[in-house]
Structures are given as structure tokens and as C-alpha cells.
């Protein structure tokens, strides 16, 4: 099976995570970090989810799963310790055309999450043929190189791009090849990108 990676706009997602254990907690908090509106459905939840609800990062329905919990969801994750419940979530979500991830049996869903490294506006995600441990190792190796320097560089470029485009001229079109050329990574890492960006302000 081939994967087709996409990046979803977190703030436009309404997510339902069924399951309040360690896996559900990790998935729910990652979605909240991305700006999604997250609802967790579970009679029992971890202390981390309790705290996230207290801080109004998520909402919790402390009850057993029902199909109507999926009504407004754009994305669904089944992360309970019950094979029967997860299978029912898969059936309900698939029949409603939802994006759905089934953590204990990914083939029942239509997507799986990837090992992710996030640094500001830079998000790198890795999948490795259904071997999550390998994906995590690759992600960690990538993260060692693509650190806070890239976060600062991309933030500066985003600001410059917005300013130049807002000016209504073609300056960004002229600047982009010089700023994001073949030497982009080396210029981020040796610090010279800052001077290049400044020259276009």
C-alpha cells in the first residue's frame, strides 16, 4: 500500500479521539498542539487530559462511545484498549466518509499518523512502511540537523515574503531564487541567510 502524505490545517480540524489512555492522550494533545478543536470520548482519562481540559485545550465526554459522537468530526482517531470498540469506530467513521485512524489496526482506517518533528513553522513527518520505531529513529536523526536555526530562518522568510507580496510588486519572485537556492541549507547553518534576508528588507 502506498502512502499519500498531506498536511492538514490544524485550526480547521474538528477531531474526536475515542480513548483516554496513553495513546489517546498522545494523539489528542498532538492535535491540540496543531490548533485542532479536540473532543476526547472516554469514561476514564489520564491526568494529562484532565489538565488539558482544565486549560480549555480540549473537551472531554466522559462516557462510552456512541456513533453520534462522530457527528461534527472531520477527523477521528480510535485509541481504546478494546478491539470491538475500535472496530465499531472504524465502521461508523468510514461509513460517514471521515478521516479515520485506528491505532491498533491501521488497515481499518484511511490514514495513519507519522513520526513528527516540529520546530516553529517547520514540520517534518516520516513514515517507514508500517514500522513506527524505524520512522521515529529517522525522525530523530533529521531533527538533529533541522533545529532552531531552521525555525528562525523560515520565520524570517515568511515575514519577508508576506511584506514583499503585500507591496504588490514582483520582488518576492526575484528574491526567492536567491534566498532559497541550492545553498539554502548551508546558508541557514552558517548564519549567512540572515544577511541575505536583510538585504531584501
User: Where does the pLDDT of residue 49 fall: very low under 50, low under 70, confident under 90, or very high at 90 and above?
Assistant: very high
Asked if residue 120 and residue 26 are part of one domain, the reply reads no
Asked if residue 122 and residue 106 are part of one domain, the reply reads no
Asked if residue 70 and residue 47 are part of one domain, the reply reads yes
pLDDT at 8: 93
Asked if residue 109 and residue 16 are part of one domain, the reply reads yes
The parent domain of residue 182 ranges over 148-199
Q: How far is residue 55 from each of residues 12, 23, 26, 51, 77, measured CA to CA in Å? A: 20, 20, 16, 6, 22
Q: Looking at the 3D structure of the chain, how many domains does it have?
A: 3
In a domain? residue 4: no
Determine the 3-state secondary structure of 57 from DSSP. coil
Determine the 3-state secondary structure of 142 from DSSP. helix
User: Where does the pLDDT of residue 118 fall: very low under 50, low under 70, confident under 90, or very high at 90 and above?
Assistant: confident
CA angle 123, 15, 80 (to 5 degrees): 100
pLDDT per position as a tens digit, 158-169: 999 999 999 877
pLDDT at 170: 84
Determine the 3-state secondary structure of 66 from DSSP. coil
pLDDT per position as a tens digit, 125-155: 999 887 889 999 999 999 999 999 999 999 9
Asked if residue 105 and residue 25 are part of one domain, the reply reads yes
C-alpha to C-alpha distance for 109 and 87, rounded to whole angstroms: 9
In a domain? residue 2: no
Question: How much is the pTM?
Answer: 0.82
Looking at per-residue pLDDT, the higher value among 176 and 2 belongs to: 176
**Cβ density class 127-165: b for 16+ within 10 Å, e for less:** beeeebeebbebbeeebeebeebbbbbbebbeebbeebe
What would the mean pLDDT of 74-86 be, rounded to a whole number?
Answer: 98
164 phi and psi angles, rounded to 5 deg: -65, -40
pLDDT at 1: 55
pLDDT above 70 covers a percentage of the chain that reads 100
Asked if residue 176 and residue 132 are part of one domain, the reply reads no
Return the closest-CA partner of residue 82 out of 114, 42, 50, 110.
42
What would the mean pLDDT of 89-112 be, rounded to a whole number?
Answer: 96
pLDDT at 129: 82
pLDDT at 148: 93
Asked if residue 48 and residue 63 are part of one domain, the reply reads yes
Asked if residue 189 and residue 123 are part of one domain, the reply reads no
Lowest mean pLDDT across 91-100, 121-130, 154-163: 121-130
Amino acid at each position: 500500500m502506498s502512502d499519500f502524505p498531506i498536511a492538514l490545517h490544524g485550526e480547521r480540524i474538528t477531531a474526536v479521539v475515542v480513548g483516554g489512555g496513553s495513546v489517546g492522550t498522545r494523539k489528542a494533545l498532538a492535535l491540540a498542539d496543531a490548533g485542532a478543536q479536540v473532543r476526547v470520548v472516554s469514561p476514564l482519562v489520564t491526568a494529562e487530559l484532565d489538565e488539558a481540559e482544565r486549560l480549555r485545550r480540549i473537551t472531554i465526554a466522559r462516557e462510552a462511545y456512541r456513533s453520534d459522537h462522530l457527528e461534527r468530526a472531520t477527523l477521528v482517531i480510535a485509541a481504546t484498549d478494546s478491539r470491538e470498540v475500535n472496530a465499531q469506530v472504524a465502521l461508523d467513521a468510514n461509513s460517514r466518509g471521515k478521516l479515520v485512524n485506528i491505532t491498533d489496526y491501521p488497515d481499518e482506517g484511511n490514514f495513519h499518523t507519522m513520526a513528527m518533528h516540529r520546530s516553529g513553522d517547520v514540520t517534518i513527518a516520516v513514515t517507514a512502511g508500517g514500522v513506527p520505531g524505524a520512522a521515529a529513529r529517522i525522525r530523530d536523526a533529521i531533527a538533529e540537523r533541522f533545529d532552531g536555526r531552521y525555525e528562525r530562518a523560515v520565520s524570517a522568510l515568511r515575514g519577508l515574503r508576506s511584506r514583499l507580496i503585500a507591496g504588490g510588486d514582483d520582488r518576492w519572485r526575484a528574491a526567492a531564487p536567491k534566498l532559497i537556492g541550492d545553498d539554502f541549507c548551508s546558508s541557514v547553518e552558517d548564519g549567512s541567510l540572515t544577511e541575505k534576508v536583510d538585504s531584501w528588507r
